[in-house]
Amino acid sequence: MAMEELRRGLSLSRWKRYHIKVHLADEALLLPLTVRPHDTLSDLRAQLVCQGVSSWRRTFYYNARPLPDHQTVREARLQDGSVLLLLSDTR
């Protein structure tokens, strides 16, 4: 029985979607994105490019910590309604 519940949970996560927002501090914009748990931050960057927003030389932050591009939405512990901050690198 436990194995069946695990399988059901895994198949549901494939269809799960989170509605998050990205705060572009430099432009004072808040953009909505729909993401999946296995999407990486690089995937989020691609979505922003499709909306005409460049994320070149910018870093995503969540709860005051920088997020690496290879990290997934699940690994970053993002949830429905989360807000990411996208800041220009100061280097």
Q: What is the pLDDT of residues 44-79, one digit of tens each?
A: 999 999 999 998 899 999 999 999 999 999 999 999
How confident is the model over 6-51, as pLDDT tens digits?
555 555 556 789 999 999 988 889 999 999 999 999 999 999 999 9
pTM score, whole prediction: 0.81
Contact in structure between 55 and 69 (CB atoms under 8 Å): no
Structure tokens at 87: 């800041």
Strands 65-67 and 83-88: unpaired
**Contacts for 17 with CB less than 8 Å, ≥ 6 apart:** 34, 35, 36
